[in-house]
Chain A
């Protein structure tokens, strides 16, 4: 228990960073992502290395350029070929998930991915949203941007974490932006901005170090005014909560409040005689540190090394993520209790087709290296709101938040949902944001 530092970060790290577009062929047409794939099955084993599906993103400029997702068929074929020739480890030696994803569950997921899953369905769905890329601080940032029909809607930027993506928020974009169509009230409307983190999905992969949550927060504070928003709020969970806490510290002009569904409010010094609620939070954080943070420590220290198997093995990438859907959602033992296989594979496929295992893992490296890492995000003056979903990795008591957030204006503890709150419980999540920000509207 002396090592509570499971290193959830809020740190400072400067350096410079070139645009990924320097590395991209001039080829790619703007406003569409092209994932180029050459023939993947070699004719003979001795053949020279084959060109394998490589993501190429259109160059980003300071303009806000429309973007659509279009994965070439060759990349889909390559995926299926890899899945068909998966080489498996032996079965686990336990009868539960304690060693990771059980072999039988793994084989079932991979069989579904190969035989039944339809990426084109997902593409149609994501392309129904207005998507863009724009260059901020040297890299291209991908985002969904849906303006509400309500003129006075409140602009909000929603940030995902790992192993999440914009996919997590697709169900709530409609209800947030157009509440009257989804049983809500016009005055609860939001203009919704959902970016992909640097190194994730269709944002560029940073090519130099320095993209920690503080720098990402500064990029978000550039993005919102670029979209014409002068008064806005921020929301996030997981690394999205890290970015949102960082934004709250920075208090960029225009940011009036923030909501997080993961709260970094551990006291610097743990209480000597914890209350039952404090005890529970401490125990859950300790469980995370002792049994559940292997992925965290590996990604935090050697993101490149773990990137090799996950980029090369579709099964490896899928199960690396699937494990988290089992561990972190509010389920009865199986991730399918809480999320559909299609929903999980949408997210997994997004990581796979974009080849972002290493670049997404690098966010752990960026934010845990500089030493100042912990579960406490420190004192925040910005007005803060929080929704605590019961199956979150840990659930801090309200008193801890009150001690660090003098302007806490909303706190609610729900009875359903877990770490991927918007993904798991879109209706509850939408309602939380409506309720939380009601008092912040002009």
Chain B
């Protein structure tokens, strides 16, 4: 985690990024994702390389084109075959999670994934929502867009992080859009836009470098304009907080305020004359623990995303455990991720990464931006913050005040962690309603 530098100029540079569609067959029908899969099981070991389920997304244009998710049966079969063929490492040599996901937990998750989990269920949930793809700065971006029936609803763009996805927000969309059916008032209503980051979910995978946070932030602004929103809000945690912070930093036209559930308050502000207070010491300790023991994934994703990608793209257990570990380490649980999230919920997210084969492309965001753009910076923009106390980093309010002169809301929520909307959808909705009530 280092201070951001030389980032502002970069945002002006438009690196030519060819659209992924150039690499895709002319095949795909507009308005539906097709994941084409040839026969996956080789007939003999000596046979030529087999075609393996490959993601094909419909080409995106500047038009906003409806989109539905449909993973073909062959890809589901291929996944189950791979899971049945898992080759396991030996058991960890400790009695806890300190070496990563314990073998017994890993086996249980894989067994559930293979025998009980139903991808079609989450597919139906996604397809029950209006989804679209549109081309932004050369790249097809997937997003959920649900308009409220309330005319004064505030438009909000909500951005996920890694290893999250739009799936984190499935439970909060209805309460945000339709508050009167979910215990709220008409003036709590939002028009909700939830994009998939470049290289994540059903957005295109960048084929050239340069998709750093400032660029993503900028195209989110273009997206909101394209959807007709002239005054809107932005929200995010994890990388989504990075994007949201950069939207504010760039003073995007129409952006009125932001809400963060992981404020980018690292590296920490300089110590005050009397030294750091106790609450600050606790946050410093969290940063130290992260740097020393909990950031290996970020280090490898930030430096060799491609090498890591080979193992994760080829092995569903590898991809599954790479993400499952984070649900354990970052949610508000009592030792097991299942305390905070259901197996189905976690596997929805994991399966999305698997079927879209986005291990490397999602890891590449760390390569692009982790050391360069993901750092504390002052914002000349109204900022609201909710700290979910189970998150891995819970900075004190004083750091927010020192960094955001227009901080207008700060609340510490006793339950919930890093995946706040996923873990505590009701509390998350309440936070957004309370934060933005005064902006209406």
Binding site for B on A (CB under 8 A): 23, 40-42, 45-50, 52-54, 77, 80-82, 84-94, 99-103, 106, 111, 114, 205-209, 291-295, 297-320, 323, 355, 357-359, 362, 365
User: Which one of B46, B88, B303 contacts A294 once the chains associate, using CB atoms below 8 Å?
Assistant: B303
Binding site for A on B (CB under 8 A): 40-42, 45-50, 52-53, 76-78, 80-81, 83-94, 99-103, 106, 111, 114, 205-209, 293-297, 299-315, 317-322, 325, 357, 359-361, 364, 367
Contact yes or no, A304 B89, CB < 8 A: yes
Report the minimum CB–CB distance from A49 to chain B (whole Å): 5
- Tell me which residues across on chain A come within 8 A of B319, comparing CB atoms: 309
Contact yes or no, A319 B86, CB < 8 A: no
Residue of B87, B207, B304, B314 with most chain A CB atoms under a 10 A cut-off: B87
- Tell me which residues across on chain A come within 8 A of B92, comparing CB atoms: 303-304, 358
CB within 8 Å for A305 and B310 given contacts A45-B81, A81-B45, A312-B86: no
Contact yes or no, A47 B84, CB < 8 A: yes
In the bound complex, CA of A106 to CA of B111 (Å): 30
Report the minimum CB–CB distance from B104 to chain A (whole Å): 11
- Tell me which residues across on chain B come within 8 A of A94, comparing CB atoms: 209
Residue of B46, B101, B296, B297 with most chain A CB atoms under a 10 A cut-off: B296
CB within 8 Å for A85 and B50 given contacts A90-B361, A302-B99: yes
In the bound complex, CA of A310 to CA of B294 (Å): 20
In the bound complex, CA of A89 to CA of B300 (Å): 16
- Tell me which residues across on chain A come within 8 A of B48, comparing CB atoms: 84
Contact yes or no, A313 B103, CB < 8 A: no
Known contacts A42-B81, A306-B100, A308-B318; 9 further A-B pairs (Cβ under 8 A): A45-B76, A49-B85, A49-B86, A85-B42, A99-B367, A100-B304, A294-B296, A318-B310, A320-B310
Report the minimum CB–CB distance from B414 to chain A (whole Å): 29
CB within 8 Å for A305 and B307 given contacts A207-B90, A294-B300: no
Report the minimum CB–CB distance from A147 to chain B (whole Å): 33
Report the minimum CB–CB distance from A20 to chain B (whole Å): 8
Report the minimum CB–CB distance from A332 to chain B (whole Å): 20
CB within 8 Å for A362 and B93 given contacts A90-B207, A297-B300, A301-B293: yes
Contact yes or no, A207 B50, CB < 8 A: no
CB within 8 Å for A100 and B49 given contacts A52-B86, A365-B99: no
Q: 20 A-B residue contacts at CB 8 Å?
A: A49-B111, A87-B313, A89-B306, A89-B359, A93-B364, A111-B49, A207-B90, A294-B299, A301-B294, A305-B101, A307-B100, A308-B101, A309-B317, A310-B89, A311-B87, A312-B318, A313-B315, A355-B89, A358-B90, A359-B89
User: Which one of B52, B84, B359 contacts A45 once the chains associate, using CB atoms below 8 Å?
Assistant: B84
In the bound complex, CA of A209 to CA of B309 (Å): 29
Closest 10 CB pairs of A and B: A309-B318, A316-B311, A305-B100, A100-B307, A309-B311, A294-B300, A100-B306, A304-B100, A358-B89, A89-B360
- Tell me which residues across on chain B come within 8 A of A46, comparing CB atoms: 80
- Tell me which residues across on chain B come within 8 A of A292, comparing CB atoms: 303
Contact yes or no, A49 B87, CB < 8 A: no
